[in-house]
Amino acid sequence: MHSASAVTTVLAMPSPLELADRVERLERRARAQASLLDALAELLAPAARGAAPEAILAMLDTSLPCAVAAVDATDGSILVRDDANSALAFVATAGSIPTQRLRWTYLPSHRGIASWVTANGQAAIVNDVRADERFYPGIDEVHAFHTRTVLAVPVIHGGNVLGVVEVLNKRGNRLFDTSDKRAIEVYAHCIGRTLAHLAAGQDRPAAAQTSRVAVSS
């Protein structure tokens, strides 16, 4: 006769499909983390210190998808602070919205979770954006996107908040947690020096000077 605890243990065991899904997810995350380490090594290499803005943007384009995948999310973005315009400007995206559609597009001043993170210098985990008054739906509306969950982390360098890294929509309808936050904080720390080179308008590629388009508020 089986004890009640033994029956409970058997009932709690995941199915073969669930186990396979967990293994696949862990393997995917491990591959993504390895790719992220390679991308960060390039960003932190001595040669990157004097890189031209175009080269820096290319390195961000390479590293951001790795950071997004490392926390098993679908999309992400990097925004740089632009004090001259009191706004945040997208410099890289990963996922369904191509970087070319958002690069140097402004997020309206004091709108959105990213703006809150910049103003407060604190990370934010929002696992139901529609219930959070800080969420700004303008990007979703313009680009036919649906944000469900957000993890946003400030990029701090020299004691100053230079921008924000956002990752969106964890796969499988799962929620972001503190381990995801720690992973993105490491990434944000590593790109701090990189964003310092892009923080000033004069360091931006010439095309950016004429292609800034504010998202409607």
The answer on pLDDT for 200 being more than 90 is no
- Write the secondary structure of the chain as one string of H (helix), E (strand) and C (coil): CCCHHHHHHHHHCCCHHHHHHHHHHHHHHHHHHHHHHHHHHHHHCHHHHHCCHHHHHHHHHHHHHHHHHHCCEEEEEEEEEEHHHCEEEEEEEECCCCHHHHCCEEECCCCCHHHHHHHHCCCEEECCHHHCCCCCCHHHHHHCCCCCCEEEEEEEECCEEEEEEEEEEEHHHCCCCHHHHHHHHHHHHHCHHHHHHHCCHHHCCHHHHCCCEECCC
Q: What percent of the chain has pLDDT over 90?
A: 51
pLDDT in the model for residue 207: 44
pLDDT tens-place string over residues 26-42? 777 777 677 776 776 77
pTM for the whole thing? 0.79
Mind listing the pLDDT tens digit for each residue in 103-160? 999 988 789 999 999 999 999 999 999 999 999 999 999 999 999 999 999 999 999 9
102: pLDDT strictly greater than 80: yes
Domains along the sequence of the chain with CATH: 23-214 (3.30.450.40)
